[in-house]
């Protein structure tokens, strides 16, 4: 397991901590691989009764590593995309998943929350899905799950404009369960995970299966992945990635509509 993803099992709760704070916890292919392995372990190891996802530092995650997006956009990405494995594992997981989110949760940092069963936010949490700003499309089945959860117009706003959604709105709209202070976040999340771990695991697993149509969710991930791959290779996306690297605003007026 990479140092940037830590996993620790205690009293039936497997805690995964995202920890690449010098890059704002941006997720690399290697990190997705470690996350996928951890979710697989949580589902397969009978000693794990709840999974808790949290992050070190002042924000949850800045989303996918944009340098890696840029490499993929020119055909220089890794042979195996671990993100695919991670998203499938998350979508089909039957172990109850708790998330503790402080600061910004960008891109997959927000869309992964749609696969969690209990989401706790700190007061300063901001959910941001800037896929269109990067000339991409939503992933992790969020194009299906987010409109279902919060309605089309709010989901369109989040996806198309990429403006941050604050903790109060996220709770009011049903993306998260509740908010707490940043200083209480971890302890509170651990308490909730421990409570869930004390419930009958077989019943929880059966309930979770009934609540989520995993086959439909995976089918949507597949639909999105094909379009996402096309978008990654587009001139618009290359302009967005170059602009990020050069710390400037992208100029989409000179790129073709592809």
The site for ligand COA (CB under 6 A) is made up of: 23-24, 26, 62-67, 104, 106-107, 130-131, 134
Closest residue by Cα to residue 231 from 135, 129, 88, 97: 135
Q: Decide whether 15 or 28 has the Cβ nearer to ligand COA.
A: 28
Distance (Å, whole) CA 89 – CA 135: 26
User: Minimum Å distance from CB 56 to ligand COA?
Assistant: 14
Name the residue number minimizing CB distance to ligand COA.
107
Q: Which residues pair with 101 in a beta bridge?
A: 121
User: Minimum Å distance from CB 183 to ligand COA?
Assistant: 20
List Cα–Cα distances, 54 to 6, 24, 231, in angstroms. 10, 13, 30
Q: Which 3-state string (H, E, C) describes 91-133?
A: HHCCCCEEEEECCEEECHHHHHHHHCCEEEEECCCEEECCCHH
User: Minimum Å distance from CB 83 to ligand COA?
Assistant: 11
Q: Decide whether 173 or 244 has the Cβ nearer to ligand COA.
A: 244
What H or E segment, with its residue span, contains residue 16? Answer: strand 13-18
User: Minimum Å distance from CB 9 to ligand COA?
Assistant: 29
User: Minimum Å distance from CB 129 to ligand COA?
Assistant: 8
User: Minimum Å distance from CB 103 to ligand COA?
Assistant: 8
Burial of 108-127, coded b for 16+ CB within 10 Å and e otherwise, reads bbbbbbbbbbbbbbbebbbb
Q: Decide whether 57 or 147 has the Cβ nearer to ligand COA.
A: 57
Pairing of strands 5-10, 13-18: antiparallel
Q: Decide whether 41 or 104 has the Cβ nearer to ligand COA.
A: 104
CA atoms within 13 A on the CB side of 211: 16
Given a contact cutoff of 8 angstroms between Cβ atoms, the answer to whether 32 and 86 are in contact is: yes
Q: Decide whether 99 or 134 has the Cβ nearer to ligand COA.
A: 134
Q: Decide whether 105 or 197 has the Cβ nearer to ligand COA.
A: 105
């Amino acid at each position: 397991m990479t140092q940037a993803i830590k996993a620790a099992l205690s009293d039936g709760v497997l805690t995964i901590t995202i920890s690449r704070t010098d890059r704002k916890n941006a997720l690399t292919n290697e990190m997705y691989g470690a996350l996928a392995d951890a979710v697989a372990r949580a589902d397969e190891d009978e000693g794990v009764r709840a999974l808790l996802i949290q992050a070190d530092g002042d924000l949850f995650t800045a989303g996918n590593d944009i340098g890696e997006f840029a490499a993929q956009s020119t055909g220089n990405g890794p042979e195996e995309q671990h993100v695919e494995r991670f998203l499938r594992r998350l979508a089909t997981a039957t172990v109850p998943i708790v998330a503790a989110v402080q600061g910004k949760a960008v891109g997959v940092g927000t869309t992964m929350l749609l696969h969690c069963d209990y989401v706790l936010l700190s007061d300063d949490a901001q959910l941001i899905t800037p896929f269109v700003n990067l000339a991409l499309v939503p992933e992790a089945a969020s194009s299906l799950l987010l409109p279902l959860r919060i309605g089309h117009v709010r989901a369109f706003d989040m996806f198309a404009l990429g403006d941050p959604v604050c903790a109060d709105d996220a709770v009011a709209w049903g993306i998260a369960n509740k908010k707490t202070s940043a200083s209480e976040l971890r302890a509170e999340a651990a308490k909730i995970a421990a409570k869930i771990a004390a419930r009958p695991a077989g019943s929880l697993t059966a309930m979770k299966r009934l609540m989520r149509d995993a086959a439909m969710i995976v089918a949507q991930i597949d639909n999105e992945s094909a379009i996402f791959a096309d978008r990654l290779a587009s001139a618009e996306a290359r302009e967005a990635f170059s602009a990020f690297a050069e710390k400037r605003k992208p100029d989409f007026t000179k790129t073709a509509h592809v």
